[in-house]
Each structure stands twice: as structure tokens, then as C-alpha cells.
Amino acid sequence: MSQLPDPEKKHEAAETDTPESDPLERLNRGLSQWERELLSEPRPSSRPRVADLGRFQDLLHASRSVTGTLDPNELLIRVVDAMIRIASADRGFLMLMHDDGKLQFEIARSKDETTLPPGEFQISWGIAEEAAHRRETVWVPDAVGSSLFQDRKSVRALSLRTVVALPILNGGRVLGVLYIDSHSITHEVTTEDIALLEGFASQVAIALDNARRHEALRDSKNRLEIENSNLRRALKEEVQYGLLVGRSPAMARVVELMEKVIPTQVSVLISGETGTGKELVARAIHMNGPRREQNFIAVNCGALPEPLLESELFGYKKGAFTGANEDRVGLFEAADNGTLFLDEVGEMPSSLQVKLLRVLQDSNIRRVGDTVARKVNIRLIAASNRDLRAEVDAGRFRQDLFYRLNVVPIALPPLRERGEDVLLLARHFLDQFTKQQQKRIPGMVAEARDLLLRHPWPGNVRELENAMARAVALADEDTSLEPNLFGLGASITRRWDGQHTLRQTMEAVEAETIREALRHCESNVSRAARALGVSRQHLHNRMNFHGIRRTRLLNESGGQ
């Protein structure tokens, strides 16, 4: 075994051999032997290793990937896949913090970049919740052998080895938790790995916040579109009771009942024939109540097929069905803190009746294709031209939903039962349409007023509105309206002419009434029967008696 030379003797020899003028040699003489040997050893390169460069490139690629999309679903997939790749883990999960302060599972992925089936969603929730509570990374290199976690059932059941849970923090607020684990220690997670993952988590927080803001803006845009559509409709109608106010006892009872329910939050069920003004009542209740500053959203449940009605009411997630190219809010969300009016609720399919009942029970909705429940606060007003009690008895409408809707029932009378209100409404429409058409029309002749009072109005206020619009359009300037301008056909309730018996006169009146109802309802026998207040079979029998054929009426309408 060789010995090292005496450094002092070597130092003296150096003094005689080296010229005094060399400054490097003078510095060297001041160093000890082990210091000179240390300096002479090859020093490691300051450039990072190739493996380190690869990992930094992975991190850069991952950061660019997550900040390169604003789609929430795509973002979550990119985040979890990147986490698995950076840490060389087996599985990755992402949980988001909801308003109730609880973590909710969002996505699970495996290292082959596939979504895990629901049966493989088990994770150690305790470790994830610990990371969220402490607001710092929880890193367990060997979960099975850890004294802190080995007693937890989830750790033992899953045979977890490496587990890392990182909180996603934005301004000190926990947005969620990133969680990765492995069942074997094929790749040991190091402190350098944790540093990279924490740096990536900070990028994820920014990306999530941006995606949420973008989603909120898109939802706001959807809501504004719905609000603008409803506002345009509202501008055409009276904010106060308007057309609902009348002198008839029937309408006085309606207004009295409205004034009692307006300041409350109870559900209201409005019944009445088509065209009696059910939406006007609903809008008046909203616009004069405590929610007047919020949205009034109306939808006709009988105008849309079941799949379209469901997505319209509840909204949908991107990819939920063909054509769902982006997330979209539904009418329940658009009406949050306001009023939702479900017109013709009796037409709602039974499957949607169940979902509507659930909303009324717990005030939560789920968009089509989504797993997240969203809280809504709405006042519900429903309307139907059907007898919902009879629909319940027939098994076509859920009894429990009927009782939820029918907290306060309001029955609107048909126009034929409102007496002199017909002339009040006619005067209102005359003023409205003369302004629109810029005409000077002083009023109506006595025969025209008499015709309006005697007409049965199967189409109710809507039919009267159309008749007045036609009369104003056809009238000459500065000329009062004549009976022939209303387009009401022959005088349905004509006086006895002295040539026919009472039975003959009544049968003629009935025949013309049925024809007019069918024309108004576009030859739909069911609608005409409801408008006339008789059963469909009874109307068929009377049509056969009078020889009235739907095809003939359609041809007559087409030729006009």
C-alpha cells in the first residue's frame, strides 16, 4: 500500500524549482496536497443529464397541453394523462372541490391513456382529503408499509405502494386534488418528481380557473340568449294585469286569487281553454312578485319531442348526443332565482314527469350526459288546458306530481263566459292595432259590437285578437268597423228568422259552431273538442250528425 509523499517537503522542493515570477505557482504553493488533488479531479458537467432533459420536456409539453384548451372535459383528460406520464404512475385521478366543501370525483385514467371503468374507481379518499385539508402535497412512498396509512382499509384493499395527492391551489383556495398511485414500486418517486408535479399542479390551477371562467361566460351567453328571447315576448305583453282585468265576476275572482299568491313562493297550476291567457296570468304573477327582477322563462311542454324537451329543460354536456358540440345551460338554470312557466304540462312524457318531480323535491338538476348535480332556486308555475285530475285518474299523469303542482289552482274562464269583457278587450286590441298600422278608426258600429258579444269564441282571447287585427287591416281610414271585417263567418248565434223551428235554429247554430272550432284548431278534432268543452267522441258524433268532414274543411281553408 503506497503512502502519500510529505506535503511539506514537496512544498520546499517546489520553492527552489519554480521561478518566483509565476503567480499561479505561488497560489499553488499555498494549497495542501488534498486540496490540490481535489482540484485536479474531473468536475461534473453543469449541463443536465439527457434523462432530466426528457422529463423537463415532458413537463413543458404537459403545461402547453393543459393551457391549450378551454374545454373542461378535454382539460381534465389532458391533466390526468400528463400527471401519470410525469410520475410514471399506474393510475391517475382528479377530484374537484364543490360548493359544499366536499371533493367530488371527476375522472379516472390509466397509464395507457384510457378511462377506467366505474368498477376501478376505488382510491384512498383519506389521502386525497388529507391533501385538500392541509393544502400541501401528501406523498407516501410505501403506503402499505407506512405507519400513518397502513391501517386504512382502502390502502390495504388496493395494495397501494406509491401514492401522491397534490392540492390544486388558486389564490389559497383549493380547486381540487390530483391523485396518482401505483401498485408496485417499479419507479421510485423522488423529491425531484414531487417538485415537477407541484410545478405542474400550479399550471393546472391556472388552466382550471381559465376553463371555469370560460364556461361561466358561455353559460352567461346562453342565459342572455334565453333572457332576450323572453324579453322580446314580454315587451309585447302587459306588465300589469292588462288584458286580465275585466268587469265580469269570473275574472274578478281570478284577479283576487292572483293577488293572494303573488307575494308567496308557492307553486301555481293554471287551468283553462286554449287562448284564455294562461301565460299572461303566469307573467303577471312573476312581474308583480318578489322575483320580478329575475328571469321569467316560459316553455310549451307540448311543442317539443321528449329528447329535445329534456335537453331544453335540463341543459346538456358536450358529447351527450349527436350535435351536442358544447355544454349548454337548460331553462331550469336560466330561471335560477326567477320563475319557470311550464305551459301545457299535461303533455309532458311520463319519464320527464319523474325528473320534474325530483327537481321539485330536492331543487337539484343534472344536465343531460352530466354527473354533476346543480342547485336551482325557482318558482314553478304550470298550466294545462287538460283536466289534470282526470289525467291522473286515467293514469296518464303522475298523482304525486299533480299534488306538487296544484298547491294553488287558478281556473281561467272562457271568453264566452266573460260577458261585457269582450268589448273591453276588443277596444284594447283596436287601440293596439291602429297604432301598429297607423290608422285612424273611431270604433265599431253597433252591429259589430253585437256580433262580438254573441260569438261563442272557441279560440277565446287569442281568436278575438286575430279577429281585431284582421278587421283593422281591412278597414278604410276614418271608418268604424263593420261585422263583415272580422272574418267570423256566418252569424253563428243569429236571431230567430220566423221561418224555422227552435230545433232547426239550434242545430244550425251547433253546426256552424263546430265548423268554426275545427277551422280555428286546424281540423284537429281533439283540440276542437277541448276548446268546445266536450269529449272527442261526442264531437265526432255531432260531426257525423251534421255531415261535417275534416277533409272538406281542410280544402276550404286551403282555398281561402
Residues 112-145 have pLDDT tens digits of: 888 887 665 677 777 888 888 888 888 877 655 5
CATH architecture of the domain with range 50-213 = 2-Layer Sandwich (3.30)
Q: What is the pLDDT of residue 497?
A: 55
**Chain segment 234-281, per-residue pLDDT in tens:** 554 444 455 566 778 888 899 899 999 999 999 999 999 888 889 989
Q: Which fold has domain 497-560?
A: Arc Repressor Mutant, subunit A (1.10.10)
Which of these, 157, 128, 162, lies nearest to 145 by C-alpha position? 162
Residue 56 forms beta bridges with which residues?
none
> What is the Cα–Cα distance from 325 to 363, expressed in whole angstroms?
27
Q: What is the pLDDT of residue 2?
A: 34
Q: What is the pLDDT of residue 404?
A: 94
Q: What is the pLDDT of residue 553?
A: 55
Q: What is the pLDDT of residue 430?
A: 93
Q: What is the pLDDT of residue 447?
A: 87
- All three cell numbers of 186: 417499479
Q: What is the pLDDT of residue 7?
A: 43
DSSP-derived secondary structure for 207-274: HHHHHHHHHHHHHHHHHHHHHHHHHHHHHTS-SSSGGG--SSHHHHHHHHHHHHHTTS---EEEE--T
Say yes or no: do domains 50-213 and 497-560 share a fold: no
Pick out the chain residues at pLDDT < 50. 1-21, 24, 26-27, 34-36, 38-39, 43-50, 151, 236-240, 491-493, 556-560
| CATH number of the structural domain 237-413 | 3.40.50.300
Q: Pinpoint the alpha helices (H) of 88-237.
A: 125-134, 153-158, 191-235
DSSP 304: S
Query: Do 382 and 405 meet the contact criterion of CB atoms below 8 Å apart?
Result: yes
> What is the Cα–Cα distance from 242 to 523, expressed in whole angstroms?
31
CATH 3.40.1010.20 at 417-488, yes or no: no
Whole-prediction pTM: 0.56
- All three cell numbers of 434: 291602429
End-to-end CA distance of the chain: 123
Q: Pinpoint the alpha helices (H) of 20-135.
A: 23-29, 33-40, 50-66, 72-87, 125-134
Q: What is the pLDDT of residue 160?
A: 61
Q: What is the pLDDT of residue 240?
A: 46
Which of these, 358, 313, 352, lies nearest to 333 by C-alpha position? 313
**Structural domain boundaries of the chain?**
7-37, 50-213, 237-413, 417-488, 497-560
Q: What is the pLDDT of residue 285?
A: 93
- All three cell numbers of 332: 331550469
Is the CA virtual torsion 433, 434, 439, 441 positive or negative? positive
